[in-house]
Structure 1
Amino acid sequence: MASYPKIAQSLIATMAARAADASDRAIAFQGAPGAFSHIAAQAFAPDALPLPCFSFEDAMDAVKDGRAARAIIPIENSQHGRVADIHFLLPESGLNIVAEYFLPVHHCLLAKSSGPFASAISHPQALGQCRQYLRGNHIAPINYADTSGAAAFVAESDDAGLCAIASRLAGELFGLDIVAEGIEDADHNMTRFVVLAESADDPLPGNGPVMTSMIFEVNSIPAALFMALSGFATNGINMTKLESYIRGGSFAAAEFYADIEGMPGDPPVDRALKVLAYHSKWVRILGSYPQALQRV
């Protein structure tokens, strides 16, 4: 909490106290009050008590420490791609993905004056999602830990040439003017969140489409990835996402993150996973959960 501007600290302390009184209802998120993760938490679980955390690790630790029942974490954006480091943090947390949520993201330019502005402060994801707007208005981007914390920073700053990119809620919480709204570069701007919990909560059969997320590392032989994924094709399993990433600074072998439609226990999925395991050094299921948005 000490890393946030003072104007945000009192709000964080109040929300943390409420969550501490009913940790079974708490849902941890990364960011100061008014962050898009805060908005996602409220929309996903309206009766929950949002618990602000400074980092993704802090939000996950809140679940592991029993201070929150769940955490809601952004993993990708339709415009700016994967959220940095999330593929490392998810498996390292030891938590299970139990749900997903999609939040349309609309950015505001927030300030204490009408400008002109020399620089805008925000999370790198938000700055990337508003890159064309910033370039078109000759505003230099400045990275900050999260969008709402950036709004709080501007609220306490005396720099008339500084603005923040954050949500309308952040502007309301910290008393900033909305200079411009909807400044994201694409109308389809949407962030996908996953909900994490200590215990897996596999969806019941027949309750609608199910997603399963996993990570794996294939054997270091020619065509290993092709052979490892062949089971999904031959068993009619739709793989909606496949991304590679490098761990530990080594370029010798990549690890992969994948989302599929279906879950372990479905015979076609089990057959596909058996092929994947045969051609992989290891496979780890991160969770099976109801599909929140149809993949087409």
Structure 2
Amino acid sequence: MSQKIAFQGELGAYGHEACIAARPDHEPLPCPTFVDAIEAVRKGDADLGMIAVENSTYGRVADVHSLLPESRLHIVDEAFVRVHVNLLAPKGAKLSDVQAAYGHPVILPQCAQFLRANGIEAIASTDNAKAAREVAEKNNPSHGALASELAADIYDLDVVARHIEDHDRNTTRFLVMSREPDFKIRGSHGMITSFVFRVRNIPAALFKAMGGFATNGVNMTKLESYMVGGYFTATQFYAEVEGHPDDHNLQLALEELDYFTDHLALLGVYPAAARRKERD
């Protein structure tokens, strides 16, 4: 039996592309929501999950960071996927025919300039690949979908405008999730450690908690805050640092962080992707 990797969306979604690129030996398993994709891994219906966390144009994917700590899964890898947005339409349609384009709320801002320039109305859909499928089913040349070329192939649509994203480096970062961690693996481009924490209710707690990373020479690449439990005072932080928990300097930094927190949980230790170092 082949291994499976779950992703949010229908076949042809950008998550599907990420699965093909990062885990070509796994069978992609489409799921309606991120919660469903995570649950598929937890229940054993899939071996891995491909979860989108942020886009270079749009920013972080809403709600995902709050889902990760509760998932009881472990981050074992990351994948950066260059997102090319295409305008798809029924066979024979031309760009001038399209009056409305359907796409996920995350993708609409990524090609806003193109849509305005061509007088195309942007309409939100729950999934880009779903939008492509529905455009194919309705077969109305005035309706288009913002999706991948993979979706065009799957649903037999024409690409009436190719690579219409506003920024030529438009990239989405995905995290690969597993039921079991793998602390033995070491990446050729370094390691990343991800964790969440809540600081103790003392003056300058966050400043003091972060001090250990600076004094021990640990590079923190991400620090984001979000509310938990619906309380403005209950703030949780999601952080990523370069290094492995077995590294002595990171051990010291995490020990100091633990002293100033009332909650600290490791989410994953995984190889840094080569794309982190790219600048072109």
* Shorter-chain TM band: over 0.9
Q: Which residue of 2 aligns with 1:10?
A: none
Q: Which of 209, 220, 223 pairs up with 2:190?
A: 209
- Cα offset for 1:135? 2.1
1:130 aligns with 2:111: yes
The separation in 2 between residues aligned to 1:183 and 1:206, in whole angstroms, is 34
Q: Which of 47, 50, 54 pairs up with 2:25?
A: 47
Task: Note closer, same or farther for the CA distance 1:241–1:206 as it changes in structure 2 (3 Å cut).
Answer: closer
CA contact (8 A) 2:187 2:272 kept: no
1:65 aligns with 2:28: no
Q: Helix, strand or coil: the match of 1:251? A: strand
The separation in 2 between residues aligned to 1:140 and 1:98, in whole angstroms, is 40
Letter in 2 for 1:209: G
- After TM superposition, the score normalised by the length of structure 1 is 0.88
The separation in 1 between residues aligned to 2:115 and 2:251, in whole angstroms, is 48
The separation in 2 between residues aligned to 1:256 and 1:293, in whole angstroms, is 26
CA contact (8 A) 1:208 1:290 kept: yes
Task: Note closer, same or farther for the CA distance 1:205–1:169 as it changes in structure 2 (3 Å cut).
Answer: closer
Q: Which of 180, 183, 186 pairs up with 2:164?
A: 183
% of aligned pairs identical? 49
What runs of 5+ residues in structure 2 fail to find an aligned partner? Answer: none
Q: Which residue of 2 aligns with 1:77?
A: 55
1:214-257, CA deviations, whole angstroms, 9 ceiling, x for partnerless residues?
11111233321111111000000000111111122211132111
Letter in 2 for 1:263: H
- Cα offset for 1:295? 4.2
Q: Which residue of 1 aligns with 2:97?
A: 116
Q: Which residue of 1 aligns with 2:66?
A: 88
CA contact (8 A) 1:71 1:196 kept: yes
Q: Which residue of 2 aligns with 1:149?
A: 130
Q: Which residue of 2 aligns with 1:238?
A: 219
CA contact (8 A) 1:203 1:288 kept: no
Q: Helix, strand or coil: the match of 2:40? A: helix
Q: Which residue of 1 aligns with 2:178?
A: 197
1:20-74, CA deviations, whole angstroms, 9 ceiling, x for partnerless residues?
xx26x11111111111110110111111111111111111111111111101111
Structure 1 segment 27-42 matched on structure 2, within 5 A: 27-42=5-20
CA contact (8 A) 2:245 2:251 kept: yes
Q: Which residue of 2 aligns with 1:251?
A: 232
Q: Helix, strand or coil: the match of 2:106? A: helix
Letter in 2 for 1:184: E
CA contact (8 A) 1:203 1:290 kept: no
- Root-mean-square deviation (CA, aligned residues, Å) is 1.6
1:169 aligns with 2:150: yes
The separation in 1 between residues aligned to 2:98 and 2:231, in whole angstroms, is 42
Q: Which of 276, 281, 287 pairs up with 2:257?
A: 276
CA contact (8 A) 2:6 2:41 kept: yes
Q: Which residue of 2 aligns with 1:101?
A: 79
The separation in 1 between residues aligned to 2:115 and 2:69, in whole angstroms, is 35
Q: Which moved more, 1:135-144 or 1:264-273?
A: 135-144
What runs of 5+ residues in structure 1 fail to find an aligned partner? Answer: 1-21
